[in-house]
Structure 1
């Protein structure tokens, strides 16, 4: 099965689960993205962040997950839910989840603590607007938008129920992971040198 023919049709996770070899993200029952396979630069950045965060989290309760993993943003791990009622799910590039009750066999239930999206020209608008708003409404505490083209990281923090831009970091800086104390990541080790691309 392929992409829904009518974008006005309300999509549920139950229907999506019948698709073969296709990924999509859905907010309010509407498909917001059908991403092609990521570029090597995107994957390299994701891998570097996964290694840095995963190494820090080794032996701790919080877990890091890299795409693809489905996130039911508004489903509570303590409530009963069924796939046919789920109309909001995303597949971020990287997440950190600190509540083990949210981690299920095939998905994450509820907002991750940290979400990282690595943008491309085709995904920038959705990641900066639609998904940021969904992450805000679901209670994501920290949201990073990684921009490989400009080698910057935008960091948004949840304050008074709003994901507000906290700072923008470049490849010469260390980015603090605000959900943890005293943990920073050297962006020089995350972004590839331009000569390597």
Structure 2
């Protein structure tokens, strides 16, 4: 059976749960965004290394590091799962509140989200996802540009991200909202030299 979406329909997590397992997509404010074919190896290497460092640093601590694919449902206040119209799959995330974890993934805002930019998803990560992460209360949002070797960091203050901090991918960068966690970019040097 072919998978087809209805034009102009507002989709929710209830719809999402009925779709075939091989359909990879995100829902942002009821609009479906199909996931591209598997990302380039550089994307996977960088996301995997960030996850490895985060998971190692948080081992035995209350916060938990996770990596895509994993559904993150971002409901409005008190909204039931079935009515939730934001379902995303961040590349790397950390959740410090165990009550946000269930068998289907994460319900509620992670503390820290990392998106590794690739040509097919860069605009969505920088515009739509930044907006929904801000609206739903993700405390710190990182955009990693592996080709340009730049990190853009948004930190939530008074409910808004405001102006981001921009860093070169060199040395170590601390995750402000998770004490004791920092990312060592030198460990990624072999992955960052390729721009294909």
TM-score, normalised to structure 2, is 0.90
Alignment RMSD: 2.0
Is this contact kept in 1: 2:142–2:154, CA < 8 A? yes
Aligned to 2:68: 67
Are 1:149 and 2:147 counterparts?
A: yes
Aligned equivalents of 1:193, 1:138: Cα separation in 2: 31
Q: Which runs of 4+ in 1 moved over 6 A?
A: none
Q: What is the aligned partner in structure 2 of residue 52 from structure 1?
A: 53
Contact 2:93 2:111 in 1 (8 A): yes
Superposed counterparts of 1:168-187, under 5 Å: 168-187=166-185
Structure 2 runs not aligned, ≥5 long = none
Contact 1:95/1:115 (8 A) holds in 2: yes
User: Which stretch of structure 1 is more off in the superposition, 96-105 or 11-20?
Assistant: 11-20
Q: Is the 8 A contact 1:170 1:187 kept in 2?
A: no
Q: Secondary structure at the match of 2:49?
A: helix
**Separation (CA, whole Å) in 2 of partners of 1:38 and 1:134:** 22
- 2:180 and 2:105 map into 1 onto residues whose CA distance is 29
Contact 1:25/1:32 (8 A) holds in 2: yes
Q: Which moved more, 1:50-59 or 1:120-129?
A: 120-129
Aligned to 2:84: 86
Once the two structures are superposed, residues 128-186 of structure 1 have per-residue CA deviations (whole angstroms, 9 ceiling, x without a partner) of 11110100000000000011111111111001111134421222231111112243212
Residue by residue over 1:74-120, the C-alpha shift from the partner in whole angstroms, topping out at 9 and shown as x without a partner, is 256xx57242x121111110110000000001121100000111111
Aligned residues: 193
Q: Distance in 2 between matches of 1:9 and 1:167?
A: 37
Aligned to 1:17: 17
CA shift for structure 1 position 40: 1.0
- Taking the aligned partners of 2:72 and 2:81, their CA distance within structure 1 comes to 14
TM-superposition CA deviations, 1:50-84 (whole Å, max 9, x none): 111001100001001100111111256xx57242x
Q: Distance in 2 between matches of 1:115 and 1:193?
A: 20
Q: Deviations over 1:2-41 (max 9, x none)?
A: 24142x1111212222222011111111113432211111
Q: 1:168 to 1:34 in 2, by over 3 A?
A: same
Higher relative contact order (CA 8 A, sep 6+): 2
